[in-house]
Structure 1
Amino acid sequence: MSLEDDLRVTLRDHAAETVPQPDLWHNVSAGVRRDRRRRVALAGGAAAVALTAVASVPVILANRADRAMPTPPATAPTAPTGSPAVDWAWPSWPEPAFPRKPGWLPPGVGEPSVTVMGANVLLHYERGSSILEAEIGPIVPSWETEGEEDHDADVGGREATVRTASIYDGSQAGEQFVGVRWRTADGDWAQVLSWGERDEQEVLKFARHLGAGSVPAGPAPVTLAVVPPGLTLQHQSAVPDQGGVSQGGASLCVATPETVAAERQPTGLCADVVEEPFEPTEEAGPELLTVGGRPAAFYPEGGRLEIDRGGGKVLAISWDPEQLPLTRAEAIRFAEGVQIA
């Protein structure tokens, strides 16, 4: 299970605490980013070790509190903006939308948000400790929570599996987990998950009333000017508002169609907006520069470019160098085309 899976499960488990945590989504984003930064550091450290030893040895990261951050030069070099030789393209994918329209909603579910998860699409409702979501697509979804018991049910004439748990980590009296999964007539997987006070009958009613129509994702929090050839939308999400207060995070990834068809978790070439100070990771040996007039750090071994957006926010561009060997100039070109709503 990846860190993103672990954090997603943790989010679901803690979302039902009596006192909602307003910074929970921020902590999830920050946790994912810290893990990616650690992998960048490990990649840089491993490359250095490979030059001096035949046998592999563990890379031990020093305590960041005991080591000073690298000091940018008095005048940081400005990144070249020359176009790479490869022809890039304007993004051409359709506007994302959840491909069903709820015909009935339980009371107090909050406002909807739509997330692209590979070839699947997720419709998410959240208010306080209550979470209700539906997912549809060709990739088998995750139950997200360990169940106590499975049994059969019927959703629109289709055989379904219901998974329940009377308690889960962080649940309070009267709260339970209910999940329903079935195959649609066209062969896609469909799933509804609920954490909170809703019972099985309410969750089944919501599932059975997912009818014709769609729920649009709305304005994208992150947009791109150009993308490398052969890549399309793989992930798009924004941290949902809590009580009318924006949590500030957003993510967009592009990948090959083969990756989109197989992977629900964010992967490929990603642009993440996170609320975290710009602090280049010393262990990975970043190259300090400027991108679009903003301080930036490029990690040549780790597939990462970070740009200081000001106000305690960072735009983090990440990719797997083995799967997508971007050059420095290509990474900068992609970053310069990222627009944040």
Structure 2
Amino acid sequence: MADVEALLRSTMRRHATHAPVGPDLLAAVHARSHRIARRRRTAVTVLAAVAVPAALAVSVLTAVPRDAAPPGSVAVVPSTGTTPVSAPASSSPAATPPGQPPPALRLVPPASATPVFPYRPVFTPIGGLAAPVVTLVDGELTAYYAAHDPVRGADVTIRVSARAPEFTDPGRPFHQTPQRVRGHPAVLRTVVMPPADRLSLYWMEGAGQWVRVDTDDTLTDADVVRLADALAPAAVPVVVPFRFDVVPAGMTVNTSTDSEVAFGVSAGAPAVDCTLLAPRALTGPTVRVGRYAATLRRTGAAATLTVALDDLGATLVVVVPARYPVTNADLIRFARGIQVTSQAQPRPTG
């Protein structure tokens, strides 16, 4: 119970504060860049290429044929890269009149395709860049590109969001210079931090779309501007850990990572959160979700369904805030229709 409550508190806190996307991802990128710069500046011989940060690894879970599972049970399905992370075609529900409870959560068949990242870099650092890992968190799309050359190259992270960039590096000295990118005014922000300065170039590409490019000072200022200027149109799908038989009506996917999918009526406001965690023992009375045992608990904050996916070595946790009333039967039906894809990576707990 403590693990589930901790998950709920951390998830609600992150979304409620509209925290900048992927702090762990950015920290991993910076740590990797620092190691690279230190080796470069001290002339240490590189004996092996630095691996892509483990937090971004997309492990492949053993696929279980869907026809081997009872109808509606949670199963693993191969990921194709265009696997639908379903979001309904219906529009967002009207606001609930003051003094009236919100309408009950309604489930409908999925109607829309996987969110995609709209750009790809054409100009790249020395050695080129690996294929991106694309995630969606609180409505912000992030594409992480690892450098092929760990010494002369540099990792690059590109973000696309409806919100202006926010930075979380208090106390570190920085300076900003005006630039022009793709015909738009832009700002190049340089954060001074040994052994490699952090460069962030950002601009408003169009109405409701901000673009931000992050890297380190392996690239010159001119290189970063050139990379941004040369971005080409693309449609790179996000990581998809689940497929859904039914989805919440009037909601869209606003988070999709290798361990989590969240639906909401607006970016940064989650209503239904599905997270794949490392395995843990269930405590208390159980219910059945297909062929799996689960626990269903309700508090004043949320309804939480925890499903033990014993054959996958994982646990599925579905959280619905109390402001969206949902029956036990619908919550179980929703979880029963979730299939874990081969892109999924259970999130460690602790």
TM-score by length of 2: 0.63
Distance 1:313 1:127, change over 3 A: farther
Preserved CA contact (<8 Å) 1:162 1:181 = yes
Preserved CA contact (<8 Å) 2:204 2:210 = yes
Equivalent residue of 1:267, what SS? strand
Residues 1:156 and 2:182 are matched in the alignment: yes
Query: 1:102: how far off?
Result: 2.2
Choose 4-13 or 289-298, whichever is displaced more.
Answer: 4-13
The aligned amino acid for 1:156 is R
Paired position in structure 1 for 2:27: 13
Preserved CA contact (<8 Å) 2:178 2:188 = yes
TM-score by length of 1: 0.64
Which segments of 5 or more consecutive residues in structure 1 lack a partner in the other structure? 28-84, 239-249
Distance 1:179 1:336, change over 3 A: same
Equivalent residue of 1:93, what SS? coil
The aligned amino acid for 1:110 is A
Residues 1:309 and 2:309 are matched in the alignment: yes
What is the aligned-residue RMSD (CA, Å)? 3.3
Paired position in structure 2 for 1:193: 214
Paired position in structure 2 for 1:292: 290
- The percent of aligned pairs where both chains have the same amino acid is 19
The aligned amino acid for 1:92 is A
Distance 1:315 1:190, change over 3 A: same
Paired position in structure 2 for 1:252: 261
Corresponding pairs, count = 255
Alpha-carbon distance between aligned partners in 2 of 1:192 and 1:99, rounded to the nearest angstrom = 14
Alpha-carbon distance between aligned partners in 2 of 1:137 and 1:278, rounded to the nearest angstrom = 35
Residues 1:25 and 2:55 are matched in the alignment: yes
Paired position in structure 2 for 1:279: 281
Equivalent residue of 1:100, what SS? strand
Alpha-carbon distance between aligned partners in 2 of 1:132 and 1:151, rounded to the nearest angstrom = 20
The aligned amino acid for 2:316 is L
The aligned amino acid for 1:277 is P
Which segments of 5 or more consecutive residues in structure 2 lack a partner in the other structure? 1-9, 37-49, 58-103, 342-350
Preserved CA contact (<8 Å) 2:243 2:339 = yes
Query: 1:197: how far off?
Result: 3.3
The aligned amino acid for 2:262 is C
Residues 1:270 and 2:280 are matched in the alignment: no
Alpha-carbon distance between aligned partners in 2 of 1:279 and 1:161, rounded to the nearest angstrom = 50
Query: 1:337: how far off?
Result: 0.9
Paired position in structure 2 for 1:135: 159
